[in-house]
């Protein structure tokens, strides 16, 4: 078979390409595509996004959430690709008109790992230590517990950030457990954190043109309903808060069959103030899960009032 069945648009980072290959392997298993023909049946098109180009300043200064997906979504809209593979946490709450999330792969553990140069746990981090991160959410959660910490910008892919810690540019950092697992990277003495993670962390979303029934039928075979339900709720929370990567927002939906339990929080960047909300829902659908997340966001907006961070 020489004609492409599905063209995959992906960021070009090692993690993004690994995730795209996971999607392609799942599609091949579902549809009986031969491994030897995958490059022609389902080619991966690496793309460099605006977020990849900005390495010298925080993304919050450049426009926030969406910087890692815009060029990829443009490729879909211009029919240069048939599906896009995203780390769902990078996606804005509102998608461009004509695009939809058609499937979500089974979610990895969404939590963070704390990684220190001296291999000590977070509680033993020395006073005034340098914590490297570009995430306002991780920054706020860390400062809530340790206001003495010095936050330093740490950008780049997983390997780059680990190398910067080894070189002493920071005393410690935090990374998504899912990303390390997918890359096959094991960090000795890394500490699992039970903090609420970034919304949709650990989930891989497959985005398509809403009118493309061919792509929709193919990717439906690899959709994980529980993971899709969870990210619907978390994206509802994001939408209800008009959230972006400029806002310290965290949350996690847990799904057991069709029952859903959600916990979410919003913090000020210095971690001094925070607001939480939780919800439970039986017989959840994607629409009702999204609405549940929005309702939790509304509670926080009402309770926080003018103190809620606005960017």
CATH code of the domain covering residue 246: 3.30.160.40
Distance CA 93, CA 289 (A): 14
Domain co-membership, 89 together with 157: no
Domain co-membership, 134 together with 170: yes
Burial class (CB in 10 A: 0-12, 13-18, 19+), 9: buried
Strand (E) or helix (H) holding 131: strand 130-132
Residue 61: pLDDT band with limits 50, 70, 90: very low
14, 113, 116, 134, 278 from 185: Cα distances, Å: 12, 12, 15, 20, 33
| 82 part of the active site | no
Phi, psi (rounded to 5 degrees) for 9: -90, 135
Arithmetic mean of pLDDT over the chain:
91
- pLDDT at position 311 is 58
Domain co-membership, 245 together with 289: yes
Domain co-membership, 219 together with 230: no
Domain co-membership, 216 together with 236: no
Secondary structure of the chain: what % helix, strand, coil (to 5)? 40, 20, 40
Distance CA 233, CA 248 (A): 18
Domain co-membership, 213 together with 66: yes
The active-site residue out of 90, 171, 212, 224 is: 90
**What is the number of H-type helices and E-type strands within the chain?**
10, 13
Distance CA 203, CA 272 (A): 29
- Please give the residue range of the domain that contains residue 35: 1-105+202-223
Angle at the Cα of 177 from the Cα atoms of 21 and 88, rounded to 5 degrees: 55
Domain co-membership, 183 together with 265: no
Residue 54: pLDDT band with limits 50, 70, 90: very low
Q: Is residue 2 a part of any domain in this protein?
A: yes
Q: Which spans in the chain are helix H?
A: 14-31, 38-41, 50-53, 70-77, 136-145, 158-166, 177-183, 213-220, 225-240, 286-304
Q: Is residue 311 a part of any domain in this protein?
A: no
Q: Is residue 209 a part of any domain in this protein?
A: yes
Share of the chain above pLDDT 70, in %: 91
Residue pLDDT, tens place only, 205-241: 999 999 999 999 999 999 999 999 999 999 999 999 9
Instruction: State which of 192, 213, 235 marks the end of a domain.
Output: 192
Domain co-membership, 84 together with 154: no
pLDDT reading at 121 higher than 50 = yes
**Cβ atoms 227, 104 nearer than 8 A:** yes
Burial class (CB in 10 A: 0-12, 13-18, 19+), 167: exposed
Domain co-membership, 26 together with 155: no
Nearest CA to 273 out of 140, 172, 181 is that of: 140
Q: Is residue 310 a part of any domain in this protein?
A: no
Q: Count how many domains the chain has.
A: 3
CATH code of the domain covering residue 47: 3.40.190.10
311's CB contacts (< 8 A; 6+ apart) are 60, 64, 244, 246, 247
Domain co-membership, 98 together with 215: yes
Domain co-membership, 160 together with 298: no
Domain co-membership, 44 together with 98: yes
Q: Is residue 185 a part of any domain in this protein?
A: yes
Q: Is residue 197 a part of any domain in this protein?
A: no
Residue 49: pLDDT band with limits 50, 70, 90: low
């Amino acid at each position: 078979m020489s004609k492409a069945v599905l063209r995959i648009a992906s960021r070009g980072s090692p993690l993004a390409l690994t995730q795209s290959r996971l999607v392609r392997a799942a599609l091949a298993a579902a549809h009986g595509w031969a491994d030897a023909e995958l490059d022609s049946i389902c080619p991966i098109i690496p793309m460099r996004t605006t977020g990849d180009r900005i390495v010298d300043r925080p993304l919050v200064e450049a426009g926030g959430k969406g910087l890692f997906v815009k060029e990829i979504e443009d490729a879909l809209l211009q029919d240069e690709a048939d599906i896009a593979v995203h780390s769902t946490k990078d996606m804005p709450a509102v998608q461009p008109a004509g695009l939809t999330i058609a499937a979500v792969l089974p979610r990895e553990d969404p939590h963070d790992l704390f990684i220190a140069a001296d291999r000590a746990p977070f509680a033993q981090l020395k006073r005034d230590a340098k914590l490297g991160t570009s995430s306002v959410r991780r920054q706020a959660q860390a400062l809530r517990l340790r206001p003495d910490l010095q936050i330093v910008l740490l950008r780049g892919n997983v390997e780059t950030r680990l190398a910067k810690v080894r070189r002493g540019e920071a005393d410690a950092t935090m990374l998504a457990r899912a990303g390390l697992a997918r890359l096959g990277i094991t960090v000795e003495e890394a500490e699992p954190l039970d903090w609420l993670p970034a919304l949709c962390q650990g989930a891989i979303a497959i985005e398509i043109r809403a009118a493309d029934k061919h792509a929709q039928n193919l990717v439906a075979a690899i959709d994980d309903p529980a993971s899709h339900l969870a990210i619907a709720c978390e994206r509802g929370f994001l939408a209800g808060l008009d959230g972006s990567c400029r806002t310290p927002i965290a949350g996690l939906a847990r799904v057991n069959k069709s029952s859903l339990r959600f916990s979410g929080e919003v913090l000020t960047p210095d971690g001094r103030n925070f607001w939480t909300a939780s919800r439970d829902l039986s017989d959840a659908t994607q629409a009702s899960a999204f609405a549940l997340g929005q309702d939790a966001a509304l509670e926080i907006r009402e309770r926080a009032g003018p103190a809620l961070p606005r960017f």
